[in-house]
Amino acid sequence: MTRNITIRRATTADAFTLADIGGATFTETFGHLYPPADLAAFLKSAHTPDAWHRRLQDAHVAVWLVHAEDGAIAGYASAGPCKLPVPDLESNAGELFQLYVRASFHGLRLGSRLLATALAWLESRGFDPLYVGVWSRNEGAQRLYGRFGFTRHSEYEFPVGTQRDHEYILRRA
Protein backbone atom coordinates (compact mmCIF):
# COMPACT_ATOMS: atom_id res chain seq x y z
CA MET A 1 0.00 0.00 0.00
CA THR A 2 1.17 3.47 -0.83
CA ARG A 3 2.03 5.98 1.84
CA ASN A 4 2.23 8.97 -0.51
CA ILE A 5 -1.06 10.65 0.39
CA THR A 6 -2.42 14.09 -0.49
CA ILE A 7 -5.39 15.93 0.98
CA ARG A 8 -7.17 18.49 -1.17
CA ARG A 9 -10.30 20.59 -0.93
CA ALA A 10 -13.16 19.15 -2.96
CA THR A 11 -15.06 21.12 -5.61
CA THR A 12 -18.47 20.66 -7.20
CA ALA A 13 -16.75 18.54 -9.86
CA ASP A 14 -16.15 15.95 -7.11
CA ALA A 15 -19.84 15.26 -6.38
CA PHE A 16 -19.81 11.80 -8.04
CA THR A 17 -16.53 10.88 -6.33
CA LEU A 18 -17.93 11.91 -2.94
CA ALA A 19 -21.15 9.97 -3.52
CA ASP A 20 -19.01 6.92 -4.22
CA ILE A 21 -16.56 7.26 -1.32
CA GLY A 22 -19.32 8.41 1.06
CA GLY A 23 -21.52 5.42 0.33
CA ALA A 24 -18.62 2.98 0.29
CA THR A 25 -17.09 4.08 3.60
CA PHE A 26 -20.42 4.33 5.41
CA THR A 27 -21.34 0.84 4.22
CA GLU A 28 -17.89 -0.52 5.06
CA THR A 29 -18.01 0.98 8.56
CA PHE A 30 -21.66 0.62 9.55
CA GLY A 31 -23.50 -1.36 6.87
CA HIS A 32 -23.61 -4.53 8.97
CA LEU A 33 -25.76 -2.72 11.56
CA TYR A 34 -28.77 -2.11 9.32
CA PRO A 35 -31.39 -4.05 7.41
CA PRO A 36 -30.69 -3.64 3.65
CA ALA A 37 -33.76 -1.43 3.11
CA ASP A 38 -32.69 1.01 5.85
CA LEU A 39 -29.13 1.18 4.54
CA ALA A 40 -30.35 1.74 0.98
CA ALA A 41 -32.75 4.50 2.08
CA PHE A 42 -29.99 6.30 3.98
CA LEU A 43 -27.50 6.06 1.11
CA LYS A 44 -30.14 7.28 -1.35
CA SER A 45 -30.74 10.41 0.74
CA ALA A 46 -27.24 11.19 2.01
CA HIS A 47 -24.78 9.94 -0.61
CA THR A 48 -26.05 10.86 -4.04
CA PRO A 49 -24.19 13.10 -6.48
CA ASP A 50 -27.03 15.66 -6.19
CA ALA A 51 -26.81 15.72 -2.39
CA TRP A 52 -23.04 16.19 -2.54
CA HIS A 53 -23.31 18.83 -5.25
CA ARG A 54 -25.66 20.87 -3.03
CA ARG A 55 -23.25 20.60 -0.08
CA LEU A 56 -20.28 21.57 -2.22
CA GLN A 57 -22.10 24.70 -3.44
CA ASP A 58 -22.58 25.93 0.14
CA ALA A 59 -19.93 28.59 0.80
CA HIS A 60 -20.08 27.82 4.54
CA VAL A 61 -19.18 24.13 4.07
CA ALA A 62 -15.83 22.58 3.19
CA VAL A 63 -15.07 19.03 2.06
CA TRP A 64 -11.68 17.37 1.64
CA LEU A 65 -10.65 14.27 -0.29
CA VAL A 66 -7.66 12.07 0.49
CA HIS A 67 -5.86 10.79 -2.61
CA ALA A 68 -3.43 7.88 -2.60
CA GLU A 69 -0.45 7.89 -4.93
CA ASP A 70 -2.20 5.46 -7.30
CA GLY A 71 -5.23 7.78 -7.58
CA ALA A 72 -7.46 5.84 -5.20
CA ILE A 73 -9.65 7.90 -2.90
CA ALA A 74 -8.70 6.88 0.63
CA GLY A 75 -11.18 9.00 2.58
CA TYR A 76 -12.90 12.32 3.07
CA ALA A 77 -14.08 14.82 5.66
CA SER A 78 -16.65 17.62 5.69
CA ALA A 79 -17.32 20.52 8.05
CA GLY A 80 -19.35 23.68 8.44
CA PRO A 81 -21.91 25.39 10.68
CA CYS A 82 -23.28 23.11 13.39
CA LYS A 83 -26.52 21.36 12.51
CA LEU A 84 -26.59 18.95 15.46
CA PRO A 85 -29.51 19.15 17.92
CA VAL A 86 -27.42 20.84 20.60
CA PRO A 87 -29.36 22.42 23.48
CA ASP A 88 -28.77 26.20 23.52
CA LEU A 89 -26.58 26.00 20.41
CA GLU A 90 -24.17 28.91 20.10
CA SER A 91 -24.73 31.03 16.96
CA ASN A 92 -21.15 30.60 15.72
CA ALA A 93 -20.78 26.87 16.49
CA GLY A 94 -19.06 24.67 13.92
CA GLU A 95 -19.31 20.96 13.24
CA LEU A 96 -17.25 18.17 11.78
CA PHE A 97 -20.01 16.54 9.73
CA GLN A 98 -18.15 13.49 8.48
CA LEU A 99 -14.73 11.87 8.65
CA TYR A 100 -14.25 8.51 6.96
CA VAL A 101 -11.20 6.55 5.82
CA ARG A 102 -11.39 3.31 3.84
CA ALA A 103 -10.38 0.32 5.97
CA SER A 104 -7.55 -0.53 3.57
CA PHE A 105 -5.93 2.81 4.52
CA HIS A 106 -6.33 2.51 8.30
CA GLY A 107 -3.13 2.79 10.33
CA LEU A 108 -1.68 5.66 8.27
CA ARG A 109 -3.00 8.39 10.61
CA LEU A 110 -5.23 9.74 7.84
CA GLY A 111 -8.08 10.29 10.30
CA SER A 112 -5.84 12.52 12.40
CA ARG A 113 -4.63 14.41 9.33
CA LEU A 114 -8.16 14.94 8.03
CA LEU A 115 -9.40 16.00 11.45
CA ALA A 116 -6.56 18.50 11.86
CA THR A 117 -7.31 19.91 8.40
CA ALA A 118 -11.03 20.31 9.13
CA LEU A 119 -10.45 21.81 12.58
CA ALA A 120 -7.96 24.34 11.21
CA TRP A 121 -10.48 25.38 8.55
CA LEU A 122 -13.32 25.70 11.09
CA GLU A 123 -11.15 27.74 13.46
CA SER A 124 -9.87 30.00 10.66
CA ARG A 125 -13.49 30.92 9.91
CA GLY A 126 -14.27 31.78 13.53
CA PHE A 127 -16.43 28.77 14.36
CA ASP A 128 -16.43 28.30 18.12
CA PRO A 129 -17.15 26.00 19.85
CA LEU A 130 -16.82 22.92 17.66
CA TYR A 131 -19.02 19.83 17.73
CA VAL A 132 -19.05 16.34 16.26
CA GLY A 133 -21.64 13.60 16.44
CA VAL A 134 -20.34 10.07 16.93
CA TRP A 135 -22.03 6.69 17.28
CA SER A 136 -22.13 5.79 20.98
CA ARG A 137 -20.41 2.45 20.32
CA ASN A 138 -17.66 3.80 18.04
CA GLU A 139 -14.98 3.92 20.72
CA GLY A 140 -12.11 4.34 18.24
CA ALA A 141 -13.60 7.55 16.84
CA GLN A 142 -14.34 8.79 20.36
CA ARG A 143 -10.68 8.26 21.31
CA LEU A 144 -9.54 10.15 18.18
CA TYR A 145 -11.79 13.10 18.96
CA GLY A 146 -10.71 13.01 22.60
CA ARG A 147 -7.07 13.40 21.53
CA PHE A 148 -8.15 16.61 19.79
CA GLY A 149 -9.85 18.00 22.90
CA PHE A 150 -13.47 16.91 22.36
CA THR A 151 -15.53 15.82 25.38
CA ARG A 152 -19.03 14.38 25.66
CA HIS A 153 -21.66 17.11 25.74
CA SER A 154 -25.06 15.55 25.02
CA GLU A 155 -26.83 12.76 23.10
CA TYR A 156 -29.29 12.36 20.25
CA GLU A 157 -30.79 9.82 17.87
CA PHE A 158 -29.39 9.60 14.31
CA PRO A 159 -31.83 8.16 11.73
CA VAL A 160 -30.71 5.51 9.25
CA GLY A 161 -33.84 4.47 7.41
CA THR A 162 -36.32 3.46 10.10
CA GLN A 163 -33.58 2.72 12.63
CA ARG A 164 -32.36 5.28 15.17
CA ASP A 165 -28.77 5.13 16.38
CA HIS A 166 -27.79 6.38 19.82
CA GLU A 167 -25.16 9.08 19.21
CA TYR A 168 -23.01 11.25 21.42
CA ILE A 169 -22.46 14.90 20.67
CA LEU A 170 -18.90 15.86 21.54
CA ARG A 171 -17.82 19.47 22.07
CA ARG A 172 -14.51 21.30 21.93
CA ALA A 173 -14.27 24.83 23.26
CB 101 within 8 Å of CB 74 = yes
At the topology level, CATH places domain 5-172 in Aminopeptidase (3.40.630)
pLDDT tens digit sequence for 116-161: 999 999 999 999 999 999 999 999 999 999 999 999 999 999 999 9
Would the pTM count as exceeding 0.85? yes
Q: Tell me, what's the pLDDT at 32?
A: 94
**Is residue 1 predicted with pLDDT exceeding 90?**
no
User: Cα–Cα distance between 150 and 62 in angstroms, integer?
Assistant: 20
For residue 2, pLDDT beyond 60: no
pLDDT digits (tens, 9 = 90+) for 51-70: 999 999 999 999 999 999 88
Among 101, 105, 93, residue whose Cα is nearest residue 117: 101
Q: What is d(CA 21, CA 161) in angstroms, rounded to the nearest whole number?
A: 20
- Domain ranges within the chain, ordered by starting residue: 5-172
36 phi/psi in degrees, rounded to 5: -50, -40
- pLDDT for res 143: 97
> For 75-110, how does the pLDDT look when each residue is reduced to its tens digit (9 = 90+)?
999 999 999 999 999 999 999 999 999 999 999 999
Find the helix packing angle between 139-147 and 110-124, rounded to 10°. Answer: 50
Kindly calculate the radius of gyration of the chain based on its CA atoms and give it in whole angstroms: 15
Q: Residue 6 forms beta bridges with which residues?
A: 67
